[in-house]
Structure 1
Amino acid sequence: MKYWALVFTLFSHFACAITLDELQQRFTQTPVIRAHFEQTRTIKDMPQPLLSQGDMLIARDQGLLWDQKSPFSMLLMLNNTRMVQIINGQPPQVVTAENNPQMFQFNHLLRALFQADRSVLEQNFRLDFQDKGQGRWSLRLQPITTPLDKIFTSIDLAGQTWLDSIQLYDKQGDQTRIVLSDHRLTPATLTDEERKRFDEH
């Protein structure tokens, strides 16, 4: 009896185990994910961390919207061709692969992080994916390409159904933690307002 209980326990574990490929498939099959974010940046020699919060949207076919609400307004839009940043309603700053290839590469990487894009991540990082049980997972990224290896020591992703947190450790000893909550999958297409934000910028 104990033998079969052990077999059943092991089978249940492996049957429920999650892999990086399965995680990527889950993300790519979801057209739109919306979530709330809280970001904490701890900078060496600064007594208090820097806190910010807002809403994030990642659309499989359009890109990433990062809509910071506080401590000041900042809208960041990323797609395959450009990055646009608008701070407190000021004129937009536009970054493309032509005018700033390193910055564009980094921001293109942000989309790969949120979508668990294995091919992009493997080009830039050594991956350590772990199934934590009960659907939870973690992914540690260690940079293997320049300039990422000059900026980051490692990047840790963790979640359950979706991506719940990103922890960035940089070479100067600073840390940035992004916690995502209130994930929403509906509506499955962009609203008129969301589409306008992508089209305008």
Structure 2
Amino acid sequence: MMRRLIAYICLGLVGLPLAAHAFDRQALQERLEQTPALQGHFTQTRWLADVDTTLESQGHFAYVRDEKVVWQLETPVEDTLVLTPADATEATPPNDARRAGREQIAALLLQLLGGDWSALESRFTQTLEGDADDWRIRLTPRDPALAERIGEIRLSGGRYIEHLEMRLAGGDRLRVDFSNQAPLTPEEIDALPDATTR
């Protein structure tokens, strides 16, 4: 009996490293896909290196799988962007790195939450670390032209994406912290705007 118990314990210990390595990109995607519609608050901070200035804005976002991301800026000004999967392919970084922001973030959320890893794979190398409750992924541009505008993108979270940081050309950085995230109800989905505002 004791020998059998020891054998079970040993098997369990041998299995631990395998379980630790089981969290891969597919496992992360499956975790994110558990919530087909999500809403929450965001705080967006930009560091502009050449003028040594920090700009902060806040608002709410809503995501509906395979349909859209609604990005509602509330402070310091009010503005709303509705981005669909078709729009996301056009959300490439502009020549002015300072303008990189809401469209790129919305496009990333659509691709990550919507399972469009192939779109990201064609543009970025991806390094994933951690486990289901505390994961981190780094995206590095493959294309030299894209690398001239974006140094890297880092995302981290657990149940949901909690932090996004984008390092831009010239030393600029953009960070978005997500909070108060919760699934959307059917009534809340119906109430979302559907007109894209740019």
The CA distance in 2 between the partners of 1:134 and 1:146, in whole Å, is: 32
Q: Among residues 63, 76, 80, which one is paired with 1:75 in the alignment?
A: 80
The CA distance in 2 between the partners of 1:102 and 1:73, in whole Å, is: 22
Shift of 1:187: 1.1
Could you list the runs of 5+ residues in structure 2 that have no partner in the other structure?
A: 95-102
Shift of 1:102: 6.9
Q: Which moved more, 1:39-48 or 1:164-173?
A: 39-48
Residue number in structure 1 paired with 2:166: 168
The CA distance in 1 between the partners of 2:138 and 2:160, in whole Å, is: 16
Number of positions where the alignment pairs a residue of Structure 1 with one of Structure 2 = 183
The CA distance in 1 between the partners of 2:138 and 2:92, in whole Å, is: 25
Tell me: CA distance 1:116–1:167, structure 2 relative to 1, closer, same or farther (3 Å). Answer: farther
| Contact kept? 1:156, 1:167, Cα under 8 Å | yes
Residue number in structure 2 paired with 1:11: 15
Shift of 1:15: 3.4
**Is residue 67 of structure 2 the alignment partner of residue 37 of structure 1?**
no
Residue number in structure 2 paired with 1:89: none
| Matches for 1:1-201 after TM superposition, within 5 Å | 8=12, 11-12=15-16, 14-15=18-19, 17-82=22-87, 108-115=107-114, 117-130=116-129, 132-133=130-131, 135-145=133-143, 147-187=145-185, 190-194=188-192, 197-199=193-195
Paired letter, 2:76:
P
Shift of 1:9: 5.1
RMSD: 3.1
Shift of 1:147: 4.0
Paired letter, 2:156:
A
What are the Cα deviations for residues 55-79 of structure 1, in whole angstroms up to 9, with x where unaligned?
Answer: 0111112111100100101111111
Tell me: CA distance 1:119–1:193, structure 2 relative to 1, closer, same or farther (3 Å). Answer: same
| Contact kept? 2:155, 2:161, Cα under 8 Å | yes
Tell me: CA distance 1:32–1:110, structure 2 relative to 1, closer, same or farther (3 Å). Answer: closer
| Contact kept? 1:167, 1:176, Cα under 8 Å | yes
Q: Larger % of helix: which?
A: 2
The CA distance in 1 between the partners of 2:93 and 2:156, in whole Å, is: 26
Shift of 1:135: 1.8
Q: Which moved more, 1:15-24 or 1:72-81?
A: 15-24
> Structure 1 length as normaliser, TM-score?
0.75
Shift of 1:193: 1.8
> Structure 2 length as normaliser, TM-score?
0.76
Structure 2 counterpart SS, 1:21: helix
